[in-house]
Amino acid sequence: MMDEEKAREYSSFICEMHYRIFCDNNKMWKKIELKTGITSSQARVLLNLENKNGCTISELAQLCLLHISTIFKMLKIMNKNKLVTISTDENDHRVKTVHITAYGKKKLRQFMTCYWETSLLKENIKSLSNEELDRLFGGLRIFVELKLGKEEAEQLFKNLH
């Protein structure tokens, strides 16, 4: 089976494991939101802006896997709360670019710190069976090999042991 086929085979399993490990805890997300003042969706936007600051609203919607109208509503609130700035392109007034502010970076760091402190990550990982862990890491290895190449993936996984 080709690596791409293996990756497709593992993708739904990895999504399920991701949900069980990271997402399946509404109380945790509410606690983090109350403590930091930003939502997990806003944190996702800020994380994407840290990686690609100054992108257009359309690009950001694609990066965040959100509909353009959803991201636009979020950005209006985030702009009002000084997490981001939205500017109009000088050459094409229809194009808007988004930048994370220093305050947005600070709130993102606060969110991430709170997430790791509050997270049930260890407990959630412990709840997985050995078979699930083997499948999860086998699938992740395939994705990493596709992205980085076999040699870099080998080195990465070697360093994890």
Residue 93 in domain: yes
Residue 31 in domain: yes
Q: Work out whether the CA dihedral 68, 75, 65, 150 comes out positive or negative.
A: positive
- pLDDT value of residue 76: 97
Q: List, for residues 55-99, the tens digit of each pLDDT value.
A: 999 999 988 888 999 999 999 999 999 999 999 988 999 999 999
Residue 38 in domain: yes
Q: Which domain holds residue 96?
A: 26-119
Residue 30 in domain: yes
Q: What percent of the chain has pLDDT over 70?
A: 78
Angle at 126 between CA 120 and CA 127, to 5 degrees: 90
> In CATH, what number is assigned to the domain containing residue 72?
1.10.10.10
| Residues ≥6 apart with Cβ < 8 Å to 115 | 32, 43
Task: Specify the higher pLDDT residue, 22 or 82.
Answer: 82
- pLDDT value of residue 42: 94
**Number of domain units in the chain:** 1
Q: Which of 9-23, 33-47, 126-140, 146-160 has the lowest mean pLDDT?
A: 9-23
Global pTM?
Answer: 0.63
Q: How far apart, in Å, are the Cα atoms of 37 and each of 40, 54, 57, 78?
A: 10, 23, 23, 11
Residues 124 and 20: beta-carbon distance below 8 Å = yes
Residue 84 in domain: yes
Is pLDDT of 117 > 90?
Answer: no
Residue 4 in domain: no
Q: What percent of the chain has pLDDT over 90?
A: 35
Nearest alpha-carbon partner for 25 in 102, 113, 124: 124
Residue 3 in domain: no
